[in-house]
Structure 1
Amino acid sequence: MNIFTVPAVLTVDNSVVDLETIEALYENRATSDELGKITKHYENAKEDEVKLLDKPEQFLYELSQIPDFEGRAHCIIFQAVFLDTISSIRRKVEIVSNVSKELLECDSLREVMGLVLAFGNYMNGGNRTRGQADGFGLEILPKLKDVKSRDNRMNLVDYVVLYYLRNFDKNAGTDRSVFPMPEPQDFFQAGQVKFEDLTKDMRKLKKDLTACEKNVQKVCANSSEENLQPFKEKMAGFVSAAQTEHSAEEESLDLAQRSFQDTVSYFGVKPKSGEKDVAPNLVFMLWYEFCNDFKNAWTRQNKKISKEKLKEAQENIKKITAEKRVETKKINANSLKERLRQKEAGVSSS
């Protein structure tokens, strides 16, 4: 056992002994039966007989000498587990909340959707029913790239992007042009979130936090004054902060679910056959596919416009240069400069 293990466990200091080591020690601690036999041997054996113990038994005995090692180690390990788990939950809740908010509030996204609806109605103009639609289902978004022009050089996504850049984005073709929708990767990450899993994780975390709090109280009650601090102060502070953080994250999760339901209602998405609720995967993966297609087209068309602007600028420069005229002035024959020039010319010829 590392000589730093004892003080590290007593002072809750992972900088001395890393968490993986403490976890390994915790997992390999002696069972009550094993420890009873080893302790009995130490108490009854002579000094030379104690030395005959194998290293594993010596290790387990030394580990048992750390005051309430099991309880302390469990608290230290849970502290790390809590921080990692709550951070993971927070990231997932935030991505769903942010994407849902953008879908409901992003003006540029509404402009793009308006173009999709307008062009769809135009293409269906000969049909009184389909040519005058007030909206469309999200399921058509990934299919827009399959609608091709007659020469097969452009699809509907390309056309929507090009129209948007030329008519809505004054910075099109420059590095100041801003992608008008959430990033495709944001939709992909949001699509992986399962609210039922997050709810289970939150419940388990709360249950384990309650157990940790009881463990801290037990360790403190059984500790001598010498070994009480800083464990009591650090772990009591952690438990209090963790309870506050857990409550805040529960509220954030509830708000994220409500925000998602508002998004579902706004876009009129219905659950899959046999399912009660609409899952984030159903909504956000449709957006992911469309947004990914849109961004690829947006990048291509932006480069195209950039080249057009560069070519136009070069042609303007050529035009300005060609229109320049060299101005000439009539020479005054009686000027001093002209008389000197003629005199020099006469000397040279002679």
Structure 2
Amino acid sequence: MTIWTASLDDLTNAGTLTRSRNKVISVVDARRAQNCTILLSKLKLSDKEIKSALMSMDTKDQLPPDMVEQLLKFTPSAEEKALLEEHSDELKSLARADRFLYEISQITHYEARLKSLFYKKRFAERLAELRPRIAAVVEASKELQRSRRLKKLLELVLAFGNYMNRGQRGNAQGFRLESLRRIGDY
């Protein structure tokens, strides 16, 4: 039998030519899988690199904050975890998104880890946003502490309260600030 006269079936049966068609298995919703694949292509990291970044709280800064936020959308549901687990012996046949979802489904407390990582990534930005407000509150507090007029006003309120409560609870050393709301009732 020569190669020129052999049929395709003869060659396949003889082991000379093998055709392999890899079937791609996907158990995740098609739209969700497509969106996940798009995100993964933007990240340009392997599943293991993403998993490693999550496990180490991204100490190498491989994951941008916006991508971490996007990854939160791809937390596998319990149903997806069960379906992916059924195909754990066929990982190479799973579609890209399915393999990724399987990998992250193996991470304990995946969603909590991702939320913590997102918080960590956004912390400096949020602190920068809040710094002016914090400074304003600190400055207002210092101003109130230095104010002689406020001190005199509070002394008057205490004296007034002691006068109103003489014989019952008079001669108090102080009062609660919430009591100031009730001054208008008298």
Give TM-score, length-normalised by structure 2.
0.43
Higher-Rg member (1/2): 1
Instruction: Flag the structure with higher helix content.
Output: 1
Give TM-score, length-normalised by structure 1.
0.25
State the structure with bigger RCO (CA 8 A, min sep 6), 1 or 2.
1
